[in-house]
Amino acid sequence: MGEQVFESTIKVTISDDDNNITKDHVTKKSTSSNISPLTKLHAGYFRISLSLGGQTLLWKVLTQHLDKSQTLQHKFHSLPSTTFLLLWWISLCTLMLLSFLYILRCIFHFKLVKSEFLHPIGVNYLFAPWISWLLLLQSIPFTIPNLDSCQFVWWIFVVPVVILDVKIYGQWFTTEKRFLSMVANPTSQLSVLGNLVGAWIASKMEWKESAICIFTLGLTHYLVVFVTLYQRLSGSNRLPAMLRPTFFLFVAAPSMASLAWASISGDFDMPCRMLFFLSLFLFTSLVCRPALFKKSMRKFNVAWWAYSFPLTFLALASAQYAHQVEGHVANGLMLLLSALSVLVFVGLTVSTALNLDMLLSDHDRYLNFTKRT
Q: Where are the alpha helices (DSSP H) in the chain?
A: 2-34, 46-68, 70-75, 81-108, 110-118, 128-138, 147-174, 180-183, 189-204, 208-231, 249-265, 270-287, 308-325, 328-354
Q: Given this model, what pLDDT does residue 316 score?
A: 95
Q: Given this model, what pLDDT does residue 10 score?
A: 35
Rounded Cα–Cα distance for residues 248 and 259 (Å): 17
Rounded Cα–Cα distance for residues 134 and 11 (Å): 67
**What are the tens digits of pLDDT across the range 3-32?**
444 344 333 343 444 444 344 444 444 444
Q: Given this model, what pLDDT does residue 371 score?
A: 52
Instruction: For 365, list phi and psi in degrees, rounded to 5.
Output: -75, -15
Cβ-based neighbours of 78, under 8 Å, separated by 6 or more: 63, 66, 67
Q: Are 298 and 355 in contact (CB under 8 A)?
A: no
Instruction: For 261, list phi and psi in degrees, rounded to 5.
Output: -70, -35
Q: Are 45 and 302 in contact (CB under 8 A)?
A: yes
Rounded Cα–Cα distance for residues 8 and 2 (Å): 10
SS3 268: coil
- Sign of the alpha-carbon torsion through 104, 109, 110, 114: negative
Distances (CA, A) of 40 to 86, 120, 121, 132, 226: 29, 18, 15, 20, 30
Q: Given this model, what pLDDT does residue 21 score?
A: 39
Q: Are 12 and 20 in contact (CB under 8 A)?
A: no
Kindly report the number of other CB atoms within 10 A of residue 297's CB atom: 15
Q: Given this model, what pLDDT does residue 31 score?
A: 43
Determine the CATH number of domain 41-69+78-358. 1.50.10.150
Rounded Cα–Cα distance for residues 289 and 344 (Å): 17
For the chain, 373 residues long, the average pLDDT of each consecutive 10-residue run is 41 41 42 65 92 92 67 50 86 95 92 89 93 92 70 90 90 76 87 94 89 93 90 64 90 95 92 95 94 86 92 94 87 92 95 84 57 49
Rounded Cα–Cα distance for residues 128 and 243 (Å): 16
Which pTM value belongs to this model? 0.84
Q: How far is CA 189 from the centre of its chain?
A: 10
Distances (CA, A) of 358 to 93, 301, 336, 363, 364: 21, 8, 32, 8, 9
